[in-house]
Amino acid sequence: MEIRIPYGKEKQRLEIEEAYLNGVLVSQIEDYHPDKSQSELVAAALERPEGSAKLCQLAIGKQKIVIIASDHTRPVPSKIIMPLMLSEIRKGNPAAEITILIATGFHRLTTREELIGKFGEAIVDQERIVVHDSGDDNSLVKIGTLPSGGELIINRLAAEADLLVSEGFIEPHFFAGFSGGRKSVLPGIASRVSVLANHCGEFIAHPKARTGVIEGNPLHIDMLYAARTAKLAFVVNVVINSEKEVIYAVAGDCDAAHIKGRTFLEGLCKVQATPSDIVITSNGGYPLDQNIYQAVKGMTAAEAAVKPGGVIIMLAKSNDGHGGAAFFNTFRDEKNLEQMLAGFVNTPRDETIPDQWEAQILARILLKAKVIYISAAPDDMIEEFQMTPAGDVQEALAMARDYLNKEAATVTVIPDGVAVIVE
């Protein structure tokens, strides 16, 4: 059987004997075909918002309007969403001073070239765009205290806006339950202080901090509080397929619209685990597989499907390298995974180490299964993360079988690990 797995902007081909294949876990999103175009779906959502007045009505009388937009690591189809949001705002208030604020969260800053790829040259040249920097204290202001006790510090432009809105997309998220909605504020435009408090070891270890779980998820509770406190008044969120095309759109109140969107998504992307000796997955290709840091997300889907002591084969181009110096240094400096995890859980919330959440989850995965990692990153970098580098998926499969000393090892394939909720 031939299966094509996303890798960067291309796909790698896997050929596997069907006798050993336990299953191919894919979201039903690919079987869902809307009766409207992408632009029509977003326009319809703007016309019928959930729990809110229309965006054009909210814009009336508002001078400073800030639109939070996702950064280069998210495949949000902003070329479709942003022009419609700008038009809607200006329909209600032609004189509004609009700023597009790029929600980089804890990521590196987005480049001009990446902004052009995201929005197109016209918007980049004609609109005011500011890239959020979570470490620039001069651009940040405290607006409250999170339910968890951490300080809530966000970008000053957002805090001082007369109207704060956002665009984004909804997908399963490996510790926040789902992306989108409230996440535009925390971690999107929050200070590193607030992100670290929210992403603490205690919360990441919480049994409710898992893919597809919202109720009782301590990270979600903080995130929704942050969005409400920042007065995030309106969101436009979409669900996309593997081709990064809009198949569903919601708009309105940051929680009500998100509930509607994630309910739709949940109905399509839940899959039943088929425990196997080997699980092959990816991060869905570009732009989510640009670094090792982001690739941990896709690995959690494989974690839920692999047998203890088995092998996870992860395809992630990682042309940006590790994606976080602190994340890399944690694995470089501590080789005992049990001690690493214990240290994270026992670290006080206000002393959280940058990127420790990603290291914590990767360490948890590595304690369950060996990881063979296919990428463009240097082999020695992959090895520092206690993973084994491989050139392509066929080579990795042969390596996995050799490691298990089991030619008839069972295999589960999850072509896009960030697109499914594995139960």
DSSP per position, 143-195: EEE-TTS-EEEEEHHHHT-SEEEEEEE--EETTTEE-SGGGGTTTTTB-HHHH
CATH code for the part of the protein at 38-268 = 3.40.50.11440
Q: Where are the alpha helices (DSSP H) in 182-232?
A: 192-198, 201-204, 218-229
pLDDT at 316: 98
Name the residue among 298, 296, 421 with its Cα closest to residue 355.
296
Q: Compute the C-alpha angle 224/264/423, nearest 5°.
A: 85
pLDDT at 73: 83
Average pLDDT, the chain: 96
Task: Please tell me what DSSP assigns to residue 50.
Answer: B
Domain range summary for the chain, segments of one domain joined by +: 2-25+272-422, 38-268
pLDDT at 353: 86
pLDDT at 74: 87
Chain centroid to CA 116:
21
Q: Give yes or no for a contact between 99 and 128, defined as CB atoms under 8 angstroms apart.
A: yes
How many whole angstroms separate alpha carbon 220 and alpha carbon 352? 18
Decide: helix, strand or coil at residue 131. strand
Decide: helix, strand or coil at residue 317. coil
Decide: helix, strand or coil at residue 11. strand
Percent of the chain with pLDDT over 90: 94
pLDDT at 155: 98
Catalytic residue among 72, 173, 199, 322: 173
Residues 274-301 pLDDT 10s: 899 999 999 999 988 999 999 999 999 9
pLDDT at 164: 98
Task: Please tell me what DSSP assigns to residue 35.
Answer: S
pLDDT at 243: 86
How many whole angstroms separate alpha carbon 359 and alpha carbon 417? 18
Q: Compute the C-alpha angle 321/327/332, nearest 5°.
A: 90
pLDDT truncated to tens, each residue of the chain (423 aa)?
Answer: 999 999 999 999 999 999 999 999 999 998 999 999 999 999 999 999 999 999 999 999 999 999 999 999 888 999 999 999 999 999 999 999 999 999 999 888 999 999 999 999 999 999 999 999 999 999 999 999 999 899 999 999 999 999 999 999 999 999 999 999 999 999 999 999 999 999 999 999 999 999 999 999 999 999 999 999 999 999 999 999 988 899 999 999 999 999 999 999 999 999 999 899 999 999 999 988 999 999 999 999 999 999 999 999 999 999 999 998 999 999 999 999 999 999 999 999 889 988 899 999 999 999 999 999 999 999 999 999 999 999 999 999 999 999 999 879 999 999 999 989 998
Selected from 1.10.540.10, 3.90.226.30, 3.90.1150.10, 3.40.50.300, the CATH number assigned to the domain covering 2-25+272-422 reads 3.90.226.30
Distant-in-sequence, close-in-space partners of 112: CB < 8 Å, separation ≥ 6:
124
**H/E element holding 274?**
none
Distant-in-sequence, close-in-space partners of 231: CB < 8 Å, separation ≥ 6:
161, 164
How many whole angstroms separate alpha carbon 377 and alpha carbon 122? 34
Tokens, residue 245: 């095309």
Name the residue among 300, 311, 282 with its Cα closest to residue 24.
282
Task: Please tell me what DSSP assigns to residue 249.
Answer: E
Amino acid letter, 397: L
CB count within 10 Å of CB 272 equals 9
Catalytic residue among 72, 107, 199, 322: 107
Could you confirm whether 258 is annotated as catalytic?
no
Q: Give yes or no for a contact between 67 and 98, defined as CB atoms under 8 angstroms apart.
A: yes
Q: Give yes or no for a contact between 66 and 129, defined as CB atoms under 8 angstroms apart.
A: no
pLDDT at 219: 97
The most distant pair of C-alpha atoms in the chain lies apart, rounded to whole Å, by 69
Could you confirm whether 173 is annotated as catalytic?
yes
How many whole angstroms separate alpha carbon 243 and alpha carbon 357? 29
Q: What is the pTM of this model?
A: 0.86
